[in-house]
Amino acid sequence: MSKPMTRRGFIQQAAAGSAAITWMSAGQAPSLFAAEAAKPALLGGTPVHPGGWPTWPTWSESWEPAVLKVLRSRKWFRGSGETVAEFEAAYANLLGAKRCLATASGTTALLVALHVMDVDAGDEVIVSPYTFIATYNVILINKALPVFADTDPATLTMDPASIESRITDRTRAILPVHIYGMPCDMDPINALAKKHKLAVVEDACQAWLAEYKGQKCGTLGDLGCFSFQESKHLPAGEGGAVTGNSDELIDRCTSFHNCGRACGSFKGDKPYFTRGSNYRMQHFQAALLTQQLDKLVRDTAVRRENADYLTAQLRQIPGIQPVRLPENSRAVWHLYPFRYDSRQFSGLSRDKFIRALNAEGIPASSVYHEMYFDGLIDEAINSRGYKKLFSAERLKAYRDSLQELKGNRLVCQTTVAVTQNLLLAERGDLDHIIEAIGKIHAHSAALAKAA
Ligand SMILES: Cc1ncc(COP(=O)(O)O)c(C=O)c1O
């Protein structure tokens, strides 16, 4: 892989059926892969990557004393110890946010943020459709309507140009999602929010340390929400956070997440003067998280370097389109996605491409589909509550509008992604991802024909 092939060169080689072999022989040593004449593993050849990948999550013995300290302190409830507050201060500092509130999960962080930004029953929230299902659910749980902006197929994030036409007199907030840790184009989103007096809550659940124009994701809107679930780059099994630069907003968040008890500037003359729930983080979670912050910074640098390498190599393969990031932004790659064009692979379907990739020892998947057709939206809008809150005309127009998300449909049909732990592998292993895709490309006609 020492000498990258040009896109035109690749096309010529692939046409001759030997692209993958030539691809390999640009390196120093001829490999078993070349000797096997690069027969796809799905057709009985040898997998490009027979070994494993870095495991996730990881842990270190050096973390044990801090966890044991919480255990032995018997201060396990957030109200009786300092470990959660220490994490909040450290995470806010790392992000350059004024404040951070730790929560039980990313979902609860979003529930807290939407409540505090006054998203109420009968409101509408403009949201990215290309996301984990929790982003839809937190709006639905508030009895508001998730109005989907379209997805920009080049960036996989909310297309700012699709927002304004979806704003109604019920719209209360915009909820952009920095999916896979790739920042949304926040300037036009914030400008529209300002123009229409809407709140902006960032779903930064996959975007720890991602940056947009010199600022960290989670500090770009009114409030930002993070997840520390086990698969995430900063994992504690479960966990989440709300970040922001307004003391008043974070005081309100703190109160709501703690059964409505007073906090800082937010207080009434009775102990339970406001609504609230229990969305608190435990000290055990915080003990794990604080110790991983330096590692998060180190891992992020490695993932970025390796993602840049993959992008430079993969964009030379016809039919593989890496993602475009907004100007002056830096992703953190919770997954590393690219768009797949089957027309450049002899019509090999995306599902079969993924199966072929998996057979080569490269874990990859299609990730998100058009989840608004799965039933949960229909269940919500046909419920007694929604029928009371919205007119029949509005609900019908809303349901019909789901068919218009052409950009999102394309993204859901053509995206392939590998998980973040692959980006922590050695360079030689990363090369296997490129080699496997090159091999599949070279043999796409045979693979497309095979059952
Ligand atoms: C984009 C997005 N939003 C929200 C969530 C919810 O976070 P949690 O699983 O911590 O509740 C996740 C977690 O996977 C996510 O990826």
Q: What's the confidence (pLDDT) of residue 327?
A: 97
Ligand 1, pocket-test mutation among 132, 151, 201, 332, most atoms within 8 A of CB: 132
Question: How far, in Å, from the CA of 197 to the mean position of ligand 1?
Answer: 27
Q: Is the pLDDT assigned to residue 135 strictly greater than 60?
A: yes
Which residue minimizes the CA distance to atom 14 of ligand 1?
A: 132
For the beta sheet containing 215-216, the strands, ordered from the edge strand earlier in sequence to the opposite edge, are 215-216, 211-212, 329-330
Distance from the alpha carbon of residue 204 to the mean position of ligand 1, in angstroms:
9
205 pLDDT band, cuts 50/70/90, is: very high
Query: For residue 387, what pLDDT is reported?
Result: 98
> For 357-377, how does the pLDDT look when each residue is reduced to its tens digit (9 = 90+)?
999 999 999 999 999 999 999
**Rounded to whole angstroms, how far apart are CA atoms 149 and 146?**
9
Q: Which one of 56, 157, 227, 257 would you pick to mutate in the ligand 1 pocket, going by the greatest count of ligand atoms within 8 A of its CB?
A: 227
- The residue among 212 and 22 whose pLDDT is bigger is 212
User: DSSP per residue over 225-252, as a string?
Assistant: EEE--TTSSS--SS-EEEEES-HHHHHH
In this prediction, residues 61-89 reach a mean pLDDT of 97
The predicted structure's pLDDT at residue 17: 38
Per-residue confidence at 451, pLDDT binned at 50, 70, 90?
confident
d(CA 20, CA 46): 13
Tokens of 109: 């962080």
- What residues line ligand 1, using a CB cutoff of 6 Å? 105-107, 131-132, 134-135, 177, 203, 205-206, 227, 229, 240
Question: Can you tell me which atom of ligand 1 is nearest the CA of 107?
Answer: 11
Predicted confidence (pLDDT) per residue in 243-263, tens digit: 999 999 999 999 999 999 999
Judge whether residue 119 has pLDDT over 90.
Answer: yes
pTM of this structure: 0.93
Mutate to test the pocket of ligand 1, among 103, 125, 127, 206 (most ligand atoms within 8 A of CB): 206
Task: Return the CA Rg of the chain.
Answer: 24
Q: Is the pLDDT of residue 379 over 80?
A: yes
**What pLDDT does 152 receive?**
98
| pLDDT confidence band for 108 (50 / 70 / 90) | very high
Which fold does the domain 61-292 belong to in CATH? Aspartate Aminotransferase; domain 2 (3.40.640)
Which residues contact residue 87 at a Cβ distance below 8 angstroms, ignoring those fewer than 6 apart? 102, 281, 286, 289, 290
* CB-based contact 218:204 (threshold 8 Å): yes
Write down the pLDDT at residue 38.
78
Q: Out of 1-5, 297-301, 426-430, which region has the weakest mean confidence (pLDDT)?
A: 1-5
Judged against a pLDDT cut of 80, whether residue 35 lies above it is answered with no
Residue 442 clears pLDDT 80, i.e. is over it? yes
Specify the pLDDT at position 72: 98
Residue 25 has pLDDT above 90, yes or no: no
Domain boundaries, the chain: 7-54+294-368+412-449, 61-292
- Overall average pLDDT of the 142-150 stretch: 98
In sequence order, what are the beta bridge partners of 177? 203
In this prediction, residue 412 carries a pLDDT of: 98
Give residue 13's pLDDT band: very low, low, confident or very high (50, 70, 90). very low
Closest ligand 1 atom to 229 CA:
10
How sure is the predictor about 2, in pLDDT bands with cuts at 50, 70 and 90? very low
Ligand 1 centroid to residue 23 C-alpha, Å? 38
Q: How far is CA 357 from CA 52, 311, 362, 416, 444, in A?
A: 14, 17, 5, 10, 12
Q: How far is the CA of 354 from the centre of ligand 1 (A)?
A: 24
Give one DSSP letter per residue of 134-195, joined into a string. HHHHHHHHTT-EEEEPPBPTTTSSB-GGGTGGG--TTEEEEE-B-GGG----HHHHHHHHHH
Find, among 444, 215, 243, the residue nearest to 349 by Cα.
444
So what's the pLDDT on residue 189?
98
Q: CATH topology of 7-54+294-368+412-449 equal to that of 61-292?
A: no
- Report how far ligand 1's centroid is from the alpha carbon of 127 (Å): 14
Contact criterion met (CB below 8 Å) for 388 and 346: no
pLDDT in tens, 270-286: 999 999 999 999 999 99
- Per cent of the chain over pLDDT 90 is 91
In terms of DSSP H, where are the helices of 360-426? 376-381, 384-389, 392-401, 406-414
Over the stretch 300-334, which tens digit does the pLDDT of each residue have?
Answer: 999 999 999 999 999 999 999 999 999 999 999 99
Q: What is the best residue among 229, 333, 419 to mutate for testing ligand 1's pocket, by most ligand atoms within 8 Å of CB? A: 229
Q: Which whole number is the average pLDDT over 290-296?
A: 98
**Residue listed under structure tokens 């092939």:** 5
Query: Is the per-residue pLDDT at 32 higher than 70?
Result: no
CATH of 7-54+294-368+412-449, one of 3.90.1150.10, 1.10.150.120, 3.40.50.2300, 3.30.43.10: 3.90.1150.10
* pLDDT value of residue 138: 98
Mean pLDDT of the chain: 93
| Mean pLDDT within 53-78 | 97
Distance 417 CA to ligand 1 centre (A): 17
pLDDT in tens, 395-410: 999 999 999 999 999 9
| Percent above pLDDT 70 for the chain | 92
Q: Whose CA is nearest to atom 7 of ligand 1?
A: 106
CA of 335 from ligand 1 middle (Å) equals 13
106 CA to middle of ligand 1, Å? 5
Instruction: Report angle CA 15, 17, 19 to the nearest 5 degrees.
Output: 85
